[in-house]
């Protein structure tokens, strides 16, 4: 059925930045309906239950769980059909799902796994949902990228994270940034705002519980900070940054490609 709600899909939203963005958007306005995208329906339902238990009194916007595996075409198509059946449109797509693959596998496998989720999946999700985004009055496509994918920063001797290796992750995010540039160019004719977003170094579950502890001890920022910035983007408060050439940064302004 058609709806006046602003319909938002966030992939990889059962934890980390995605989870906090679901919360922040729901707290921001009753005008939102947020699809909490999760590869596992069970983990998605558990995340929603946790949100309702911990923040039930502050939730204004409605939330529902949507099973979506960005590496599975059938899952993506089913997600599209569910959104279309319920709302007939999609106002905001936040491509948040991502992976970091460490060397428990060989380098070639790590590279392929990183690109499968961080690049190929993002492209297929967006292009599958394109017809629903075209029905929105002011559509946004937000790709959660990383300054680790900035070629300019990789070669900057003053970049604080220059010593970090992570070639497969860096390469996949650099490729994602090119995808953003292509979609930004291709979709401009129908008024879609397309951007890459840098959340900075956050406490997430990307690298498992051990990695989470490392991030906490290392001073990584709370994922609520990028979630708040994403709300500002969705509400149109960062449109000036989107028009600039570069990644929209969590702390304001843009970073170089």
Per-residue pLDDT tens for 60-113? 999 999 999 999 999 999 999 999 999 999 999 999 999 988 756 788 998 999
Q: Could you give the number of structural domains in the chain?
A: 1
Residue 1 lies in a domain: no
DSSP character string of 197-243: EE--SB--STTHHHHHHHHHHTTPBPTHHHHHHHHHHHTTTTHHHHT
Does this model's pTM top 0.95? My answer is no
Residue 56 lies in a domain: yes
Name the residue with higher pLDDT: 222 or 209: 222
**pLDDT band for position 21 (50/70/90)?**
very high
Whether residue 122 contacts residue 175, with contact meaning beta carbons closer than 8 Å, is answered with: no
Residue 101 lies in a domain: yes
**pLDDT band for position 3 (50/70/90)?**
confident
What is the pLDDT averaged over residues 134-158? 93
Provide the domain limits for residue 194. Answer: 6-255
Task: Please give the Cα distance from 85 to 62 (Å, whole number).
Answer: 16
Of 100, 135, 98, the closest CA to residue 11 belongs to 98
CATH of the domain at 171: 3.40.50.720
Residues forming the active site:
169, 173
Positive/negative CA dihedral, 223, 203, 37, 53:
negative
């Amino acid at each position: 059925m058609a709806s006046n709600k602003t319909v938002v899909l966030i992939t990889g939203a059962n934890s980390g930045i995605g989870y906090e963005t679901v919360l922040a958007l729901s707290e921001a306005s009753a005008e939102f309906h947020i699809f909490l995208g999760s590869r596992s329906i069970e983990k998605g339902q558990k995340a929603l239950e946790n949100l309702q238990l911990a923040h039930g009194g502050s939730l204004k916007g409605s939330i529902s769980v949507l099973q979506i595996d960005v590496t599975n075409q059938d899952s993506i198509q089913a997600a599209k059909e569910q959104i279309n059946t319920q709302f007939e449109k999609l106002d905001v797509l936040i491509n948040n799902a991502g992976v970091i693959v460490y060397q428990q596998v060989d380098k070639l496998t790590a590279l392929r796994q990183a690109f499968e989720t961080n690049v190929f999946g993002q492209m297929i999700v967006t292009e599958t949902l394109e017809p629903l985004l075209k029905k929105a009055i002011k559509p946004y496509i937000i790709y959660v990228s990383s300054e680790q994918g900035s070629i300019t920063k990789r070669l900057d001797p003053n970049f604080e994270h220059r010593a970090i290796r992570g070639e497969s992750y860096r390469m996949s995010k650099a490729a994602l940034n090119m995808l953003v540039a292509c979609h930004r160019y291709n979709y401009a004719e129908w008024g879609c705002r397309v951007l890459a977003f840098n959340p900075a170094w956050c406490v997430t579950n990307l690298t498992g519980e051990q990695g989470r502890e490392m991030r906490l001890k290392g001073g990584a920022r709370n994922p609520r900070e990028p979630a708040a910035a994403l709300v500002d983007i969705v509400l149109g408060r960062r449109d000036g940054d989107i028009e600039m050439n570069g990644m929209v940064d969590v702390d304001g302004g843009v970073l170089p490609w």
